[in-house]
Amino acid sequence: MRTEKASPEQEKFAEFVLKIISPTVEQFEFALYKNEVKEYSTTIVWKKGSQYVKINSTTYPPDGFYYNIALGEGDCDDFFEYDWNAVAIWALAQITASKTKVGSYDFPFNDSVENSVKNANKDLLLYGETFLKGDLTVFYEARKKINKNRQPYKIHKCNENGVYETENEPVSVEKKKKYS
């Protein structure tokens, strides 16, 4: 088993997320569920019943350097469930303020961490407040809009004749039907 040491960038990012965003979500009765800081990523989750707020960051060079705030319902630990049943703040912004330019956030380094997380927190309140209060109407609308045109994951495998075939991954087909 390999133990992964958190990078200083991810530690600083997680520190500011907990300092700035925790009080925001806690005022809506969300409680800290997960705080996982690694060398190239951070995952912090707060839960209230079946709802959750999840922050993921990456500084893994092939992935890029960014972070997102996602709002979800259901199992935040099951990949297929949260992948199809969570909505990023930018998607909620598209529903509530269609001309907005909110997207994934560039991962902040050095002195920009605090301001970046403060701005993300403002977006969380601006576009996610109804979700935080327990009204999932806009969340459901955004989730449906995102998943409607999204393709299920594909599986590429070699058949007995040595020819590669592509088929839809069955769990993602099921989640697409359920959440579109």
The pLDDT-based confidence of 100 (bands split at 50, 70, 90) is: confident
% of the chain residues with pLDDT over 70: 98
Contacts of residue 113, defined as CB under 8 A and 6 or more positions apart, other chains included, come to: 12, 13, 16
Print the SS3 string covering 22-48: HHHHHCCCCEEEEEEECCCEEEEEEEE
pLDDT in tens, 54-96: 999 999 999 889 999 999 999 999 998 899 999 999 888 888 8
Q: Give the pLDDT score at 1.
A: 42
Of the candidates 12, 73, 20, the residue with the CA atom closest to the CA atom of residue 47: 73
pTM beyond 0.75 = yes
- Reply yes or no on whether the pLDDT at 3 is more than 70: no
Q: Is the dihedral of CA 14, 80, 24, 96 positive or negative?
A: positive
Which pLDDT tens digit goes with each residue over 139-179?
A: 999 999 888 988 888 998 888 888 889 988 888 888 888 88
Domain residue limits, the chain: 8-149, 151-180
Digit-coded pLDDT (tens) for 105-147: 999 999 999 999 999 999 999 999 999 999 999 999 999 988 8
